[in-house]
Amino acid sequence: MSTPALASAIVRSCATRCRVVTSRGIHSTNPRKVRHFSTSHVKMAETKYTQEELKSRLTEMQYKVTQQKGTEPAFEGEYVNEKSQGMYNCIVCGAVLFSSDTKFDSGSGWPSFTDIAKADTIKLVEDKAYGLERTEVTCAKCDSHLGHLFNDGPSETGQRYCINSCSLKLDKK
């Protein structure tokens, strides 16, 4: 998918509820204005932790995924089959990211959500790793890698936030 086509798809799926990194480095809460994406001018996150602190309090997999943009093995994550009600928070900084009300079984092997819990809690960043054109989902507060956004979800917007279990902490109701 070309960058303009990717931008157009994200505009349709993201509506006005998330930050998007534009080619000018602007964190836009109105993705309808986005034409191209770039990670070259990304602002620093609100919350920063030292690598030593993160390595001491995160598991090896949590660190690999959130700090090194890794991916946990499919169908092995703690929340893949989780049905409890509650809010899914960032494992690094505790920011509220997703509600169990928007979680669904996508069959992908990772927890999937149709929407974010509240505006400005995530950033969407162009990801061209491994020769693929995808949209990375990161925590807006601490910049931790969470997963990716795809346009094959079941809702009217068609969005599927495919998120690594180990990047989340479920706060059950």
Collect all residues with Cβ–Cβ distance below 8 Å to 149 and sequence separation of at least 6: 10, 13, 14, 124, 134, 135, 136, 137, 159, 160, 161, 162
Q: Which of 14, 93, 142, 162 is catalytic?
A: 162
Active site residue 142: no
Residue 173 burial by Cβ neighbours in a 10 Å radius (0-12, 13-18, 19+): exposed
Active site residues: 162
